[in-house]
Amino acid sequence: MTSAARPRARLRRASAGHALDRLREISLALPEAWEKISHGEPTFWVHKRMFAMFASAANHHGAGRDAVWCKAVHMTQEMVVARWPDRYFVPPYVGTSGWFGIYLDRRPNWSEVADRLEGSYRLVAPKRLLAALDEREGRGNVGRVSKR
């Protein structure tokens, strides 16, 4: 490896660490959310259901770019991927179930990432945790996104 390539590799690893740290901060702030390694990557769960997965650029999940995969319904997936293909994509494996990916390697809008993660969380969280989240945010039952 040339000396010019080494700093880029270190920068890529550093930005991946930053992206994963931000992803953890956002995801684990949701009521009773927890993290575990699954399929070799950090994944985020509420009770027994996964709502997000980090995809590292360093392995085949990330395909060369750091990203987060978010649970969604097909309509949401189709909308975000069609409208913003430079930021969103259909991930392998789970894309057929409606999940979408968000690239994290090109200065993502973290507020938007947080909104998407909350939407994913709302699809799998129990009703009492949705109520707790709404209460914490001062929303009551407004804006609930749930298949239930």
Give me the pLDDT at residue 39, please: 87
Give me the pLDDT at residue 64, please: 83
Assign 121 to helix, strand or coil.
Answer: helix
Instruction: Write out the chain's pLDDT in tens, 148 residues.
Output: 444 544 444 444 445 689 999 999 999 999 999 999 998 899 999 999 999 999 998 887 667 899 999 999 999 999 999 999 999 999 999 999 999 999 999 889 999 999 999 999 999 999 999 999 999 888 765 555 555 4
Rg (CA), the chain: 16
Are 44 and 51 a contacting pair, CB within 8 Å? yes
Phi, psi of 69 (to 5 degrees): -100, 130
Question: What CATH code would you report for 5-136?
Answer: 3.90.1150.30
Give me the pLDDT at residue 10, please: 42
Per domain, the residue ranges of the chain are 5-136
DSSP state string for 76-117: HHHHHHHH-TTTEE--TTTGGGT-EEEE-SS---HHHHHHHH
